Chains A and B, each alone.
Chain A
């Protein structure tokens, strides 16, 4: 801390009501030095959900996406307003069932598991695939 020396005070020329602020008052009701810096507590909803109206939670089942850190029973945050790109993790409906995989658009479109034990899913002619939304986070509880 830097202090500027202003001058010397002698008790004789002080007015009667002088109160030494910097001694007593500091402990009595001085505002908290943190008051200017108070923030609201961390809100996981805000952190995880950007667009509430378009966001749904889905429970993942199985080990096929373990390489992306999605464990069995993880809760996935799915945002339907985010357009999926190549390599996005998506929830899609395939033949009437939801699946969570990595979307590959090249060289050939497929749904790629993040686990070498599972084969990629290529979409055959006549199969119905609809991308429901992009997975923006996975919540694993231990």
Chain B
């Protein structure tokens, strides 16, 4: 019984380095949308003490003074690099679960008979590095929760092959004893406090508690974690076929937004994008939520956040329906007198595109070619043409303040890397 977790090392920073050989051994950080916070750090940047999630303005001066290089996030590029890595992994094993942009779980159960899993993983790691330039780490263990521990051991023990396997009870117990309980997958800050109060500080202590007791005193979720730490598999590899349950499009603004007339077209842009994503997923939604808020960082200014959900009688993925719902949600929550810093839209309560239930109150004779109409728009927008809805802001997708983005090396003809 063995699963593996493959995790790309400082993924965004590693991607930036693939086409910038001059950045070898140079500290790199990547910033969130609008250059707000640090969301990725190369090993060198971590050594300089740059914390995960710190606001960029706080570390900017000293980081740059120490020769660091900074990038705005370039998700087009990272997404392409990610799909290359996942593609290679899919060729190696029968089943993979893409867990995030830079992590995947692999099912090694059927390979165990014929391969030495450690050698197999080293080979896989080497190939990914050679083919894509992205360095990965591999943790092998009987359960998902333990693969996370195995991956952390790579870092803690500074294993040069970047591959670590936990298979014997001894190995597992030793690793658990060295893992603080807050580093266990699924144990958050609140839970850590509770566990610490109960004198449980490392993963081994947690694993040694009777799961039944955990279930009574904490939750079924933590019980599952305990069983997983004991090597009992509760979480399986999930195929990525399972449909999404909601779609969120939200952004922090680069410049503050004060009035409704500026906010409306921004929210319309988010609604349009969310509708496209919804159609991509072949889903329809019957809930549209809009939220807006001020910046929690400007503490001397009045704070406000508001949200409203509109229920739709007939499930839809038509941009026009979603735009109108978004507007109905936005207008009542908007209050003048605040500096708005973020807005977003959330589509929820999905139903399959083909199963349509007509409401009593909507005209069931709505034109049939609505779906076709949206399909044409999507097709045009996938090419160079851009079709906008009248309520959108066509000059700026969202007020962004990003100016350190690297080229889209792998997805744009005009931004290819240059060689002499």
**Which of A's residues lie within 8 Å of B, judged by CB?**
51-54, 56-62, 64, 75-76, 80-81, 91, 93, 96-100, 128, 130, 132
Q: How far is the CA of A51 from the CA of B131 in the complex (A)?
A: 9
A97 touches B420 (CB 8 A): yes
A96 surroundings in chain B (CB, below 8 A): 21-24
- Main DSSP-derived SS at the A contact region: strand
Measured CB to CB, the closest approach of chain A to B172, in angstroms, equals 33
B243 at the interface (CB under 8 A from A): no
Q: Given contacts A60-B419, A96-B21, A97-B420, is CB(A81)–CB(B87) below 8 Å?
A: no
Q: Is the CB of B419 within 8 A of A58?
A: yes
A131 to chain B, nearest CB (A): 10
Q: Which of B92-140 contact A (CB under 8 A)?
A: 127, 130-133
Residues of A within 8 A of B22 (CB): 96-97
B280–chain A nearest beta-carbon distance, Å: 21
Known contacts A53-B131, A81-B130, A96-B22; A59/B419 CB under 8 A: yes
B410 CB-CB contact with A under 8 Å: yes
In the complex, the answer to whether A99 meets B417 with C-beta atoms within 8 Å is no
Q: Which residues of A contact B173 (CB under 8 A)?
A: none
| Interface residue count on the B side (C-beta < 8 Å) | 21
Q: Are B420 and A62 in contact (CB under 8 A)?
A: yes
Closest B residue to A60 by CB, please name it: B419
* Residues of B with C-beta under 8 A to A52: 84, 87
Residues of B near any A CB (own CB < 8 A): 21-24, 84-85, 87-88, 127, 130-133, 409-410, 413, 416-420
A-B contact pairs, 15 of them (CB 8 A): A53-B87, A54-B131, A56-B409, A56-B410, A57-B410, A58-B419, A80-B130, A81-B127, A81-B130, A81-B131, A97-B420, A98-B417, A98-B419, A99-B420, A100-B419
Q: Would you call B416 and A59 a contact (CB within 8 A)? A: yes
Q: Which of chain B's residues has its CB closest to A76's CB? A: B419
> Given B21, B85, B132, B420, which contacts A130 in the complex, CB threshold below 8 Å?
B21
Residues on B with beta carbons closer than 8 Å to the beta carbon of A132: 133
**Complex Cα–Cα for A91 and B416 (A):** 14
Contact between B132 and A59, CB atoms less than 8 A apart: no
A64 touches B416 (CB 8 A): no
Please give the distance in Å from B235's CB to the nearest CB on chain A. Answer: 28
B79 CB to closest chain A CB, in angstroms? 14
Complex CA gap A94/B416 in Å reads 18
- Contact of A64 with B420 in the complex, beta carbons under 8 Å: yes
The answer to whether A80 and B417 touch (CB under 8 A), given A53-B84, A53-B87, A98-B21, is no
CB nearest neighbor in A for B127? A81
